[in-house]
Amino acid sequence: MDFKKSIAVCITGALQEAFGQAPLTAEEIQQVLEIPPDPSLGDYAFPCFRLAKGLRKAPAVIADGLREAINAPFLARVDSVKGYLNFYINRVLYAREVVEKALREGANYGAGDEGAGKTVCIDYSSINIAKRFHIGHLSTTMIGHALNKMYRFRGYDVVSINHLGDWGTQFGKMVCAYKKWGDKAAVERGGVDEMVRLYVQFEKASQDDPALADEGRAWFKRIEEGDPEALEIFEWFKSVTLRDAERVYDILGVKFDSYAGESFYNDKMQPVIDELQAKGLLSESDGAHVVDLEAHGMPPCLILKKDGATLYATRDLAAAFYRKRVYDFTKCLYVVAYQQNLHFRQWFKVIELMGYDWHAQLEHVAFGMVSYEGETLSTRKGHVVYLEDLLNQSIAKARAIIDEKSPALENKDEVARQVGVGAVIFFDLYNNRIKDIDFWWDRALNFDGETAPYVQYTHARCCSVLRKAREPDCAPDYAALADPESQDVVRLIEQFPDLVTTALERSEPSMITRFIVDLAQAYNKFYYERRILDEDLPTRKARLGLTRATATLIKSALGLIGIQAPEQM
């Protein structure tokens, strides 16, 4: 039973009965039904203020009239309070409907097919070639990965894109450094670290010999022109970087459909530039070519520099047109830090000015910065935390905790990996994505706080109860789930499908993360307050059903944000 829909239908019927008209449809009423912050105020609330204008009556009068006209067997009572209608669902019916639906649908509970036939492109992670994967890439990678899973959960086709930073003069310098001082075996062995060492050596040497910079630029020009030797070394550098990055992606469980980066769009920019010119949008400014956005409250969008070189905006425009043409996306998301807000506003506006209505399908999913135990990260100052090191350290710390608390646990290494990696991801995704994050070990690996280990342990607790239980062969007595602790768990389970919808609308995985904590806390309270393996068999059956539904939902919700759920800890 869809309680929200049923309540909305009741309200529309009551409007006709009490007032002779229904200014809002059942669908519109369903959209504005609220879940009160305090369960004592009901399971759902309808603000009658939305009807005051259409009915020309005070909200309190409307609420009183509707209360008298509503009578449905699934409702325990309806209250009129200060212009609100508060609905209390029959507790036994509520528990039965929600738990049986959750058990019936299992891991698909909350899934949907509204995305069938629609494609979403998600641009995230976007690592730089010849640079190590550091903690600053964690948010873009895991927010993007979570959105990928959430959209797939709702039936969308998703194209996950790692828009590689693989273009610029620095790659000419790297090729030059390799030709002068490099060794192929050393690069294969040392990977990105060896390439960084060569680049640093080049930068130091060029301070004493300015001609080196010219050599670096010359090598980049050779890359631009397709010189076979330059391209071979350049492509090799990319493959070595991706090999190193894949180790991190494998730990995180992240995969991409496309690694088309900046260099991929070299031959795709000129048609965009030509179209801008043909539509009279390109103007000259101090020798550069720009799209004037003053009328839209923004600085000009730089398309070509004085020397004719392209910029990030040029490439992003070309990439957007390519993706629209190839994938025909319904949405194209860019998971990039909030420092780039203006950049995205500018080139999104350029596409709008070009006359393409699909500019509204482009979305910048901004996020905050990451610091580490109170210190701002800075590559130039040498304060960098590499993501692979962070994850391995977290796994090692989790293993030490397991050795101390659960020395007899089987599969310690696998559980330590799930807990250690989960702790890092959960910490990153717990707060609203736009907030800055300060990573601290004692918080991330706390088994008692609002953390991955806490919710993973709750899942393991549910699994332990289910392993120990002899599930009786009888009908469950859902009256056993009418108590406040059981109802808190039931209420959260019922809310999950709507929560996923809202999280997608807001591109906000933290809503899923916080939900999992709420569910774990509610279940643990139920676990301590109610005897699950009760000798009354119908009661045991009902409480085991609630436990199984909770375990399944914690596991699937954790999966949506890229975290695994151990069955034993």
Three-state DSSP state, 288: strand
- Rounded to the nearest 5 degrees, what angle is found at the Cα of 66, between the Cα atoms of 65 and 70? 130
Q: How far, in Å, CA of 469 to CA of 465, rounded?
A: 6
Residue 374 in this model has a pLDDT that exceeds 80: no
Q: How far, in Å, CA of 421 to CA of 434, rounded?
A: 22
Q: What are phi and psi of 211, to 5 degrees?
A: -65, -25
pLDDT band at 381 (very low <50, low <70, confident <90, very high): low
- Rounded to the nearest 5 degrees, what angle is found at the Cα of 282, between the Cα atoms of 281 and 284? 140
Residue 264 in this model has a pLDDT that exceeds 80: yes
H/E element holding 553? Answer: helix 537-560
10 Å Cβ neighbour count for 494?
22
Helices (H), 56-108: 59-69, 91-105
Give me the pLDDT at residue 423, please.
Answer: 94
Q: In this structure, which long-range contacts are made by residues 240-247, counting pairs with CB atoms below 8 Å and at least 24 apart in sequence?
A: 240/187, 240/188, 240/191, 240/192, 240/195, 241/127, 241/129, 241/130, 241/131, 241/191, 241/192, 241/195, 243/191, 244/132, 244/133, 244/191, 244/192, 245/127, 245/133, 247/388
With residues binned 3-state (H G I as helix, E B as strand, rest as coil), the percentages for the chain, rounded to 5, are: 60, 10, 30
Tell me the sheet residues that pair with 371: 376, 438
DSSP state of 214: H
Q: How far, in Å, CA of 131 to CA of 63, rounded?
A: 62
Q: In this structure, which long-range contacts are made by residues 463-470, counting pairs with CB atoms below 8 Å and at least 24 apart in sequence?
A: 463/551, 463/567, 463/568, 464/568, 465/527, 465/532, 465/533, 465/544, 465/547, 466/544, 466/547, 466/548, 466/551, 468/533, 469/532, 469/533, 469/540, 469/544
- Structure tokens, 20: 């002779």
Query: Is the model's pTM score more than 0.85?
Result: yes
Residue 485 in this model has a pLDDT that exceeds 80: yes
Helices (H), 154-227: 169-181, 184-190, 192-208, 211-224
Three-state DSSP state, 261: coil
Q: 87, 25, 13: which is closest to 54 by C-alpha?
A: 25
Residue 98 identity:
V
Tell me the sheet residues that pair with 290: 283, 302
Dump pLDDT digits (tens) for 525-557. 999 999 998 789 999 999 999 999 999 999 999
Q: How far, in Å, CA of 80 to CA of 68, rounded?
A: 9
Residue 300 identity:
P
Helices (H) and strands (E) in the chain, counts: 21, 13
Mean pLDDT over each residue of the chain, to the nearest integer:
93
Give me the pLDDT at residue 135, please.
Answer: 85
User: Which residues neighbour 219 within 8 Å (Cβ) at sequence distance 6 or greater?
Assistant: 172, 173, 175, 176, 179, 230
Domain architecture of the chain: domains with CATH: 3-89 (3.30.1360.70), 119-281+316-365 (3.40.50.620)
Q: What is the pLDDT averaged over residues 64-82?
A: 93
Q: What is the pLDDT averaged over residues 439-460?
A: 88
Q: What is the pLDDT averaged over residues 466-481?
A: 93
DSSP per position, 216-236? HHHHHHHHHTT-HHHHHHHHH
CB 257 within 8 A of CB 160: yes
Q: What is the pLDDT averaged over residues 190-217?
A: 89
CB 144 within 8 A of CB 396: no
Dump pLDDT digits (tens) for 266-300. 899 999 999 999 999 999 988 899 999 999 999 99
Give me the pLDDT at residue 75, please.
Answer: 94
pLDDT band at 255 (very low <50, low <70, confident <90, very high): very high
Q: In what order do the strands lie in the sheet containing 157-161?
A: 157-161, 119-123, 331-335, 362-365
Residue 200 identity:
V
Residue 380 in this model has a pLDDT that exceeds 60: no
Residue 176 in this model has a pLDDT that exceeds 70: yes
Dump pLDDT digits (tens) for 389-432. 889 999 999 999 999 999 999 999 999 999 999 999 999 999 99
Q: At what angle do helices 228-252 and 192-208 cross, to 10 degrees?
A: 130
Tell me the sheet residues that pair with 78: 87
Residue 378 in this model has a pLDDT that exceeds 60: no
| CA atoms within 13 Å, Cβ hemisphere of 415 | 22
Q: At what angle do helices 228-252 and 138-153 cross, to 10 degrees?
A: 70
Give me the pLDDT at residue 377, please.
Answer: 60
Give me the pLDDT at residue 383, please.
Answer: 60
